[in-house]
Amino acid sequence: MAVRRVLGLGELDRGRPASPVGRIGEAELALARDLLDTMRASPACVGLAAPQIGVGVRAFALDVRGHKKAVSCHGELVLFDPQVLESDGSELAREGCMSVPDLTGDVRRAARIVVSGLGPDGRLVRMQTDAFEARAVQHELDHLDGLVFLDRLAGPGALHARKVYR
């Protein structure tokens, strides 16, 4: 169990595409614990994908509990080999990312999704979600495909700097 370092954008860009795990073994359980530990270590973090801690595997952790924009909420979860089965609707909202701390951006995503995957107990999970949680799932899925929210922006005007330089 460990809090791992979250990679920055430059390191993510040099990474390889994430591979499916197929089954849950010791390595996958350790990864799940590290994802959760690392996510919990940052109060503002609602999701974290394995590539963000340098692990090229299709897995992410999520926890939107207590977020003011969350409607559906499945609590703290880790999903391996996730896939979107259905998606519907469209919403534009502002996102940030632990790997890109200085920028936020307005991104259009599906408003409702059904996603499946393997839980850490090895069982198949089928999750229907919407609003903020659905957005977070899609954001993490992008990481597994080597994409960041910057690749999904509604134009350059949708890019916002967090910091003010002096």
Partner 1 sequence: MAHYFLHAVGRDRPGIVARVARALADLGCNLEDSRMTLLRGEFAVMLVLDAPEGTDAGAIEGQLAAVAEELDLAVAVRALDLEGEQSSERTGLPPAGSLSTALSVSVHGADRPGIVAGIAEQLSGVGANVVDLATHVLGREEPVYVMVLDVVLPEAERDLLEERLARAAESLGVRCVVSAGDAELF
Q: Rule CB under 8 A: which residues touch partner 1?
A: 8-10, 13, 90, 100-103, 108, 146-148, 150-159, 161, 164-166
Between CA 102 and CA 37 the distance in angstroms is 23
| Least gap, CB of 135 to partner 1 (angstroms) | 16
Between CA 159 and CA 86 the distance in angstroms is 28
| Least gap, CB of 59 to partner 1 (angstroms) | 22
Closest CB to partner 1 among residues 76, 151: 151
SS3 41: helix
Q: Which residue has the tokens 């949680």?
A: 133
Closest CB to partner 1 among residues 43, 155: 155
> Is 11 tagged catalytic?
no
Residue 47 bridge partners (DSSP):
62
Tokens of 132: 């903020």
Closest CB to partner 1 among residues 87, 116: 87
Beta strands 77-88 and 91-95 are unpaired
| Least gap, CB of 8 to partner 1 (angstroms) | 7
Catalytic amino acids? 140
